[in-house]
Amino acid sequence: MSKTQNMNYFVWDVYFKGEGFAYCEKMNGINDTNIVSLLTGKKLENPLPDITAESFSRGSIGDIFGWAAGLVASEKIKKHLEGENVQFIPVKILSSDLKYYLANFLSAVECIDKKKSTIEYYNSNPDYIEKIRKLVLLSEIDESLQAFRILERPDVVLVCEKMKNQLQRISKSAGVFTPTEKFKIGYF
């Protein structure tokens, strides 16, 4: 495992209502157990659920769109993520023949510098972070990982700058990329 000290990382997120792109408001064919697996990066076993995206907020459906349990990627984005330890679960969109996939990022890395970050843990589960006011990553992260989850906050996906640039190069609707030093969650 090769480590690096000089890579920049970004939190990769979806577009939310009001940003000009659609957000999936209703997804059918997936149960609560599978939703928890998607939120925590656990692999869904075969047979994969038959998922249909049925209702969207106003806006266009980009190459990435959001849903409560994660990021949904177009075929174009999927091709760029292949080889990154991501499970792709097909999603049918009622209003389109285009192919989309729930992207289940299976790599989770303990990468937060807890001494330099400002974080709060859930009272009910002290292994998981509830709030991040200041996110500082450890100086050495396996450079072979270009897209992965934060182990202690598995609903947060990080991508390296190289991956971010590739995704933005192939798509004008590849999602929102926030530099880790500007990322906050749970503080409004």
Say how far apart CA 60 and CA 156 lie, in whole Å.
24
DSSP class of 114: T
Q: What is the pLDDT of residues 44-93, one digit of tens each?
A: 998 999 999 999 988 889 999 989 888 999 999 999 999 899 999 999 99
Per the CB < 8 A criterion, the answer to whether 151 and 105 are in contact is no
Say how far apart CA 39 and CA 104 lie, in whole Å.
8
Say how far apart CA 3 and CA 61 lie, in whole Å.
37
pLDDT on residue 95: 76
Q: Is the pLDDT of residue 168 over 80?
A: yes
User: What is the DSSP pairing of strand 51-56 with strand 64-67?
Assistant: unpaired
Read off the pLDDT band of 151 (50, 70, 90).
very high
Quote the tokens at residue 82. 């292949």
Mean pLDDT in the chain? 91
State pTM to two decimals.
Answer: 0.90
Average pLDDT over residues 91-106: 92
Per the CB < 8 A criterion, the answer to whether 117 and 132 are in contact is yes
Q: Which residues pair with 52 in a beta bridge?
A: 28, 92
Helix, strand, or coil (residue 6): coil
pLDDT on residue 27: 93
Whether residue 47 has a cis bond before it, omega within 30° of 0: yes
